Copies of this chain bind each other. A is one copy, B any other.
C-alpha cells in the first residue's frame, strides 16, 4: 500500500539503485529513450517496472541529497485578496503541469511574517520563489538571492536587490491613462484618495497623478488616509470632496474604492453626475454595480503566467529579466462623457 522505493525496484530488477536513478534522471534522446550509458534493453526494463508500480521518487529524499525539490514557494500579502489569489491560481496551474508542488503563504503585509515564510521556504529547499514583497523587509529576500535560489518579484519592486526577476505593472502609465481618460471626458476637478503606505505602486500612482494634472495646468489634490483608520478617513474624504464640488475621484487601492463607493451611496450621491469615480483592481462588484465602474484591471492572471515563465527560465540558469505589464483600463458608467 505504501509507495515503492528505488531500492525495492532495483532489487526486483536485480540491478543497483544507481542504475535505476540514472535511467530516471537522464535527459531524453530524440527517440524518447534516456540518454545515459546504460543499455537500451536494461533502460526499457527499468521503465516498464516503474510504470507497473507507478513509482514516484521521494522528492524529500532527492532534495536532501541536493537534487531538485520540485517545489516552489509563493508569497502574497493576502491570498484571500482576489487579485493575489488569481495570480497564485495561475502560477499553481502552470507549475503543477510541470510537476511542481506549491507552498503558499500570506505575509499580511507584515515583515516578520514574510521573514518567517522565507525561512520556511529556504528550510524546505524550494527550487524557486515568487513573492509580492511587503514593505520594509529586504533582508530575507537578499538571503534568498545569496543562497542562489531563483527569485521573482511581482508587482512591487525593490530596486536594491540584484539578480532577481521582476514582473511589474506600469502603475505610472496606468494612472496617466486614468487622468487622461477623465480629462478627455470633460472632468477637471479630479482628486485622489490614497493611503499612507510605503509601497512603490501607490507612490507611482500618486506621482503620476500629480504630474499629469500639473502638465495639464490643473492642481492636484490627494487625501492621504492612515491604514489603521482608513475606513473613517476615506468616508470623511468623500464627504469633503462632495461638499467642495470635486468632479471625479481616483481611488488607487481596492479597499479605498469600496469604502468610497459605500460613502457615496450613503450620502445619496449620484454616480457619475455628482461624482465620477475610477476604482483600482479587479472585483466582480464593478460590473454588477449600477452604474458599472470604470476601473484599472490588474491583469492578475497574466502576471501569474509571466512570473512563472520567468522563474522557469531562471531555474534553467537564464538571466533574470524585468517585465513591465501594461495594466488595462476598463471603461464603465462611473465616468461617462460630461
Question: Chain B residues near A147 (CB, 8 Å)?
Answer: 1-2
Within the complex, which residue of B63, B78, B258, B290 is in contact with A60, where a contact is CB–CB below 8 Å? B63
A85 touches B80 (CB 8 A): yes
Within the complex, which residue of B79, B96, B285 is in contact with A283, where a contact is CB–CB below 8 Å? B285
A123 touches B285 (CB 8 A): no
Segment of A42-50, A98-106, A245-253 in the binding face: A98-106
A89 touches B102 (CB 8 A): no
- The distance in angstroms between the C-alpha atoms of A63 and B89, with both chains bound, is 27
Q: Is A28 an interface residue (CB 8 A)?
A: no
- The distance in angstroms between the C-alpha atoms of A71 and B60, with both chains bound, is 12
Question: Chain B residues near A143 (CB, 8 Å)?
Answer: 1
B79 touches A82 (CB 8 A): no
Number of copies: 2
B102 touches A105 (CB 8 A): yes
Segment of A114-122, A130-138, A227-235 in the binding face: A114-122
Q: Is A160 an interface residue (CB 8 A)?
A: no
Question: Chain B residues near A318 (CB, 8 Å)?
Answer: none
Within 8 A of B (CB), among A32-84: 56, 58-61, 63-64, 71, 78-80, 82
* Pairs across A and B, CB under 8 Å, 22 listed: A1-B147, A2-B147, A3-B123, A56-B119, A59-B124, A60-B63, A60-B64, A60-B125, A79-B85, A79-B89, A79-B104, A80-B86, A80-B89, A82-B85, A93-B106, A102-B105, A258-B284, A261-B288, A262-B287, A265-B288, A283-B285, A289-B289
Interface residues of A (CB under 8 A from B): 1-3, 56, 58-61, 63-64, 71, 78-80, 82, 85-86, 88-89, 92-93, 96, 101-106, 108, 113, 116-117, 119-125, 143, 146-147, 258, 261-262, 265, 283-285, 287-290
9 tightest A-B CB contacts, nearest first: A80-B89, A285-B285, A104-B104, A85-B85, A80-B85, A101-B120, A80-B86, A285-B288, A284-B285
